[in-house]
Chains A and B, each alone.
Chain A
Amino acid sequence: MNTKKTSLYQLHQESNAKFVEFAGYQMPIQYSEGIVEEHKFTRNHSGIFDVSHMGQLFIYGGENLINDLEKIFPLDLKNLKLNHSKYSFLMDKDAGIHDDLIITKTNEGFLIILNAACKDNDFKILKELLEEKYKMVLDENRSLIAIQGPKSSQILNDVVAGVKDLNFMSGNWFSFQDQKVYITRSGYTGEDGFEISIPNDFVDKLTRELINKGSKLIGLGARDTLRLEAGLCLYGHDLDKDKTPVEANLKWAISKERISKGDFIGSDIIIKQLNNGVSKIRVGIKPEGRIIAREKTKIFNQSDVHIGEITSGTFGPSVNGPVAMGYIENEFSKKDTKVFLEVRGKKHPANICGLPFYKKSYVKGAIK
């Protein structure tokens, strides 16, 4: 199978990227400075991430579309303001997660950002659920970049005037070189930042301008350490079809209004789990020493009983130590519970902890 390249491929090459294949794309895992430096630069300055492999699904429609999407997503889309975004999930009838996503209400309908590995399947599922009543475009002609970190607002505003006035989780159309770009104040690093949807032919130019203003390209390696420190889930690891949003400890993302109605796909299970509790739940886990517990590491309690499994684990450069999250039997999920992680045949002590590992610095307007 041919791997695809994003429109920034040449710039990645010029920037000495190491490439990996990810979801069928040649993507930069890191550049010459390495993951730790890239991670820290994002936290302290500003980093640019090529996330053009992710799906940008535009669905066009009005009131009827809103009603139909509310049967699919556990969101109060009727009361969602124009150009505002929500984190959500595409679920099956058992509330298993097909994908996690960001959905934004636009003047023409909705823009949904989907995971690269899931986007084609998501498209198929949504097309069936919406019975082909609406125009749906999984846009291959647009690229997506994220710019993240405390200096990003000023840097991007120097290139695209006005973006600094956006509130967290809201967006709008802006103009770059007479091209329409859709920019939201969002991201997946735990830092203030933006995601920019721009026609493929202009993404190289925009990215170079942002680099000239002091931002740097950051690879997928640092994107992973940043999101894990921020306590954010990665689909295919922390989320999948065998886990529900309640088990994933993401019930904050489910609209209370919609739960009371219980008329979306998976709502029966969600309501049952909210009322009766769940047997396993996602938690943060902090190893006591320097040992790194990676995905699939087994978790044991103090009586040596197997009680769970790590779903993401790495070294957190800003925490300066190992960080992990995983699913654990509910009775052991309380903060500060001591557990043991089996790494290379030995059990190492760790503690259940709150998320995020690294305190976020989102801009004002973050809490509504």
Chain B
Amino acid sequence: MSEVKYSKEHEWIKLEGDVATIGITKHATEMLGDIVFAELPEKGSNVEKDGTAGVVESTKAASDVYTPVSGEVVDTNQAIVDDPSKINQDPEDSAWFFKLKIKDQSEMDTLMNKDDYDKFAKETSA
């Protein structure tokens, strides 16, 4: 059983057991434009909820990627580093950013479900 949740910084997070897969939302990619560079956290490093855990750059500007929950980085998606345009093509599935072994399941409760996120994204971009 897995559930996808969303952060105010436009990340999505999918939890399976105690491993969370994290990426950025389609809405985020539409705001950023063509993504031409991606930097991911190092495998084995620990990241803290709401801390930076990577960077994406469009032709226009650089933006930090935040982690919506705390944990240890257990995997990263080298495919999006090699070809960042994959992030624009399939942001909410194959172009995931990193996987975390999470520490505190309750951090998931602070995040939005899909309906709330869609509403939030619409309001903030208006």
Contact = CB atoms under 8 A, between A and B. Distances in A.
A292 B57 contact: yes
Given A29-B60, A35-B60, A294-B62, A315 B55 contact: no
A29 B32 CA distance: 12
Among B33, B59, B84, max chain A CB count under 10 A is at: B59
The interface size bin for chain B is 10 to 19
Interface in A219-237: 221, 224-225
Contacts of A221: 33, 59-60
A36 B59 contact: yes
Contacts of B59: 35-36, 221, 224-225, 314-315, 317
Nearest to A34: B34
B92 to A, nearest CB: 18
B25 to A, nearest CB: 17
Interface of B is mostly: mixed
Nearest to B81: A290
A30 interface: yes
Among B33, B34, B58, B85, max chain A CB count under 10 A is at: B34
B33 A292 contact: no
B60 A36 contact: no
B37 A291 contact: yes
Given A292-B62, A294-B62, A35 B33 contact: yes
B20 interface: no
A344 B33 contact: no
Nearest to A289: B37
Nearest to A39: B59
Interface in B57-77: 57-62
Interface in B14-68: 33-34, 36-37, 39, 55, 57-62
Interface in A280-336: 290-292, 294, 314-315, 317, 322
A315 B33 contact: no
A36 B34 contact: yes
A209 B33 CA distance: 28
Contacts of A35: 33-34, 58-60
Contacts of B62: 292, 294
Nearest to B52: A344
Contacts of A290: 37, 81, 84
Interface in A11-46: 29-30, 34-37
Contacts of B39: 291
B40 to A, nearest CB: 12
Nearest to B88: A34
A35 B36 CA distance: 11
A215 B104 CA distance: 55
A315 B62 CA distance: 11
A37 B88 CA distance: 13
Contacts of B34: 34-37
Interface of A: 29-30, 34-37, 221, 224-225, 290-292, 294, 314-315, 317, 322, 344
Given A35-B59, A290-B37, 14 more contacts: A29-B60, A34-B33, A35-B60, A36-B36, A36-B59, A36-B85, A291-B37, A291-B39, A292-B36, A292-B37, A294-B61, A315-B59, A317-B36, A344-B55
21 contacts: A34-B33, A35-B34, A35-B60, A36-B36, A36-B59, A36-B85, A221-B33, A221-B60, A224-B59, A225-B59, A290-B81, A291-B39, A292-B37, A292-B57, A294-B61, A314-B59, A315-B36, A315-B37, A315-B57, A317-B59, A322-B37
* Shortest Cβ-Cβ A-B pairs, 4 listed: A315-B36, A36-B34, A35-B59, A34-B34
